[in-house]
A = this chain, B = another copy of it.
Amino acid sequence: MLSTWRMSLVHLLFGRRLATEEDEGERVGPIAGVPILGLDALASASYGPEALLTVLIGLGTLATQYVPWITLLIVGLLGILYVSYRQTIAAYPSGGGAYSVAKENMGTNASLLAAAALAIDYVLNVAVAVSAGIGALVSAVPTLLSYTVELCLGVVALLTIVNLRGVRASGAAFAIPTYVFVASLFAVIAIGVARTVASGGAPVPVDPPHLATPHATTSLVSLWLLVHAFSSGCTAMTGVEAVSNGVPIFHPPAWVGARRTLTLIVGILVVLLLGVAFLSRAYGITATPPGTAQYESVLSQMVAAVVGRGPFYYVAIGSVVAVLCLSANTSFADFPRLCRIIAVDRFLPEMFVHRGRRLAYSFGILALATTSAVLLVVFEGITDHLIPLFAIGAFLAFTTSQAAMVAHWWRVRGPSWWRHLAVNALGAVATATTLIVIAISKLEDGAWISVVLVAGSILLFKRVRAHYDFVAHATAARDVTLDFRKSEPPIVVVPMLRWDAVTVKALRFAIGFSPEVMAVQVLTGDRDADDLTSRWRHLVVEPADRLGVPAPRLVVIHSRYRELLRTLVRFVRHVSSRHPDREIAVVVPQLVEPRWYQWLLHTPIASLLKTALLLRGGPQIVVINTPWYLDAWIPEQRRLAAPPMRGGLGDAAPT
């Protein structure tokens, strides 16, 4: 059953790691829901505690005294968030992404704030998950340590290629590593707790963790440091909102299944967080300086301390790496969809709206890959450096979403609405407070970057929308009916290099739709383009006179500065300004060669001229391009000798 789920999100607007079946008939229950919607939340259990301990690295083993208390605070906050999101699930059974909930209840500005926070959250999720996954890998295989950044970029590249190809991950790809991850960490926690209890609180580690020597200033444990640690540890909560986005995938009544899934996910997460906190204290596990040769991830130390570096160790760490990389992959599914919905509302360029051939939003995928790769390179692939940015984005999204729910209850009312409002208000206040704490404590560590990015994104969204609105206004022709009154034919300009079939084809088209044709030859002296002045009478004027029709005029311009393009554009502008009420049609003859390398043999003068005219020709201009196909040269020549025509008299074939 798992294998038939698809990662296609057509109905859901955005949100993390949601799988809508293309076949509406297949729905899931909580057990299947956990890997699909809970992967991100559970993955954060592996970098949250690590981030917390890394802040306390200076305290040495003393740190482990404080970890349980900070963890309890985080778990308490998680509880508030849990209760709040239970309400969102019930209120938005069709999926309550922060952008659409905010848009519906609080208007454009709030929804753009949510969009900016979510977009940054997705980008950082890729960076943090990939770098944490590689961090786990290099803990198990220390020789890879010096290739951290390269490995991170390799994973991003792989995810990009896979997603550009529009892969549809089956549920099994998520379920197996998720449950192996949960089961092995639960087993480690159970064994560790049992040993601790059995040994009276001082278990002997199988493989001793890195013992940090207390830092010089350890005696001074400031509250400031603990607040810092809390701020970093809060990243353990990221991903909790995903279930609220994915309600429709559950068996009806969907909100019941979704709530049960949320309960399961939060329950597992709480066990993992408390377990890690307990064992880090019992075994004296501290963080190691990231990016150095002594680095080993907290989870790796913990598993090794409890069960040793046997096969079980490698299974557990392998599942950690897999879960982290898969949680990065969910950003690749969700970020492009978020961008699409923003672009549909015209706050992002329309490229984000179009799907590629394989139904993937290629532009969004590339944007995500580029930005996360830049982050990984700038921050050298070390999770710890990215945590301050990540925590801001995630809590900004939480706060907006909860605040929008408060507005929702206020607007909608309904039975016992004030109780619902109170719960979401508690959630909003708690997450907002945390957000402020994080922002202040992490400001100089890089949180300001997130603030700048959010503000910059909102500004960008608004500028893009303003431009689209202006274009729509400027080009509006809502009820303008087409005007069929006869207008004067345009003045036609035909630039030509020499008298050949390519030029003749262009001239023929020109005389077909206007009696006022000027053939322009620019002589630069560089080429042996023969001046046509002497032959023009014979080639053009006499045949025209015989039929009594106006003949094209030859204009020969000598360019002292050998500037073909500029001279032609200047001539066209000159004609425009002398006839301000006329259209000027420039017929550009162009030789089209069948093979790409043959293009190297000819100056792309026709293409350059078309571009120059488009950009600098002015509003009277129309650019007409008559291609002449070298690989069809025999029919082209034949048409030259006997043109497609009906009726007509006078001189015929070439002489």
Contact = CB atoms under 8 A, between A and B. Distances in A.
B583 A644 contact: yes
A477 B526 contact: no
A475 B501 contact: yes
B475 A643 contact: no
A650 interface: yes
Given A478-B499, A635-B619, A485 B648 contact: yes
A601 interface: yes
A619 B636 CA distance: 7
A647 B486 contact: yes
Interface string A513-554: 100000000001011100000000011101110010100100
Given A349-B602, A471-B591, A627-B621, A547 B484 contact: yes
A625 interface: yes
Given A561-B357, A629-B618, A645 B500 contact: no
Interface stretch (A261-269, A280-288, A439-447, A502-510): A502-510
B623 A488 contact: no
A355 interface: yes
Contact of A481 (B500, B512, B543, B622): B543
A216 interface: no
Interface in A96-134: none
Contact of A625 (B475, B483, B501, B624): B624
Interface in A586-629: 590-593, 598, 600-603, 610, 614-615, 617-619, 621-629
A625 B614 contact: yes
A622 B480 CA distance: 28
Nearest to A647: B486
A161 interface: no
A379 interface: no
A623 B621 contact: no
Contacts of A591: 471, 475
Nearest to A552: B482
Contact of A646 (B344, B488, B499, B635): B488
A207 B346 CA distance: 77
Interface residue range, chain A: 35 or more
Given A512-B487, A625-B625, A598 B467 contact: yes
A481 B561 contact: no
A11 interface: no
Interface string A399-424: 00000000000000000000000000
Contacts of A357: 561, 563
B475 A500 contact: yes
Contacts of A349: 600-602
Contacts of A478: 499
A626 B633 CA distance: 28
Interface centre among A482, A485, A552, A627 (most CB of B within 10 A): A482
Contacts of A201: none
Copies held by the complex: 2
A489 interface: yes
A150 interface: no
A649 B485 CA distance: 6
Contacts of A633: 474-475
B601 A464 contact: yes
A622 B632 contact: no
A353 interface: yes
A260 interface: no
Contacts of A437: none
Contacts of A504: 477, 480, 482
A646 B600 CA distance: 47
A480 B486 CA distance: 34
A210 interface: no
Interface string A540-578: 101110010100100000000111000000000000000
A418 B23 CA distance: 95
A542 B628 CA distance: 38
Contacts of A592: 614-615
B526 A502 contact: no
Given A355-B526, A475-B502, 5 more contacts: A355-B562, A471-B593, A475-B500, A481-B654, A581-B644
12 contacts: A350-B602, A480-B655, A482-B544, A483-B543, A484-B511, A484-B547, A487-B512, A487-B646, A592-B614, A610-B625, A621-B627, A625-B625
